[in-house]
Amino acid sequence: MSEKSAYSPGLEGVIAGESALSRIDAEHNRLLICGYDLEELTEGAAYEEVAYLLLHGELPTRAQLEEFGAALRAERNLPSPVLDLLRHAPADTHPMDLLRTAVSALSFFDPETRDNSPQANVRKALRLLAKIPLIIAAGHRLSQGLEPVAPHPRLGQAANLIYMLRGSEPAPHEARALDVSLILYSEHGFNASTFTARVVTSTLSDLYSAVTAAIGALAGPLHGGANEAAMHMLMEIGGPEQAEAWVLDALAKKKKIMGFGHREYKKGDSRVPAMKKVGRQVAAAVGDTRWIELAEIVERTMIAQKNIHPNLDFPCAYTYYLMHIPIPLYTPIFVSSRVAGWAAHVVEQLGRNRLIRPAHLYRGMGQRPFKRVGVRG
């Protein structure tokens, strides 16, 4: 194999491991999670069922789901020092920075932090699933000069997160839309943050370290942060009347159109239709279709001009906005979903572990003679 063919920038197309968690069925343009069509899961399952599926390999029975839900609700609490950390953080701290640091701090208070057995990692994953929404909601409210809202004793993951942000129960269409987004964001192969988690895990580090590193990777605007950037772009465009001209001008100036394109999909992100569906439902419920109309014009223009389709971040952005979710929380909410996938990858990596240590092509100087500082002048 030649040197050139051995290197793929961004590792595009390079097989970096094995997984039984998800795959993209290119022929039918669909994402399968543990063998299940993800779109079917959005139609008939709740996020808790998908999280259970990722962590256990099978969908739960009714009894198992009730037990899983009860366990999640029992873990909806934060150690006082972690809450103090949130309380004393500067008000302008980005929620992703706050979440990254708070997740790392949680490791201090988990007696199983260093236990890398599959059973312990599943238990730790459940704790993170329960506590990350609390960190998101409490951190946001404290930054606004408000006290945290205690979790609701009966609500599921999606509805409870909205409840803790507002202090009131969400409308059914809001809980449904957020739940669908959590399912769609839950797992997506060897993306940048998941691969980061697997690299950290391959050193035999702990789950908290892997998730903390994954959060750092997800924060970038080319990965999880794209949903925030997409909404800022839509706000800059302003309205449907300006949309086509704005996109054409941006393309002429070679600006990146956020929320579009995906390395793994050639016919469009298979997760988009389900998210667009609930986005339209939210728009209809609140009586505001402007963002839907704007987004559709941007999408049509991008497909016509570049044959580039939107990815999941695009419809998530305007759907969250219609639900009055603050833009800086979009990527943390992504974390609250993807932590199930990350944890499942951690367990899988440890099952057949080998240190991930790729080679590289050296492009620097050839060997040079060393001269002491007195000679170098």
Q: Which residues are catalytic?
A: 262, 313
Rounded Cα–Cα distance for residues 147 and 140 (Å): 10
- CA-nearest of 57, 38, 4 to 265 is 38
CA dihedral 154, 158, 159, 161 (to 10 degrees): 90
Q: Which residues contact 155 (CB under 8 A, 6 or more apart)?
A: 163, 169, 175
Rounded Cα–Cα distance for residues 304 and 187 (Å): 30
- CA-nearest of 298, 69, 329 to 181 is 329
Are 160 and 48 in contact, with CB atoms under 8 Å apart?
no
3-class secondary structure, 30: strand
Q: State in Å, rounded, how far the first CA of the chain is from the last one.
A: 45
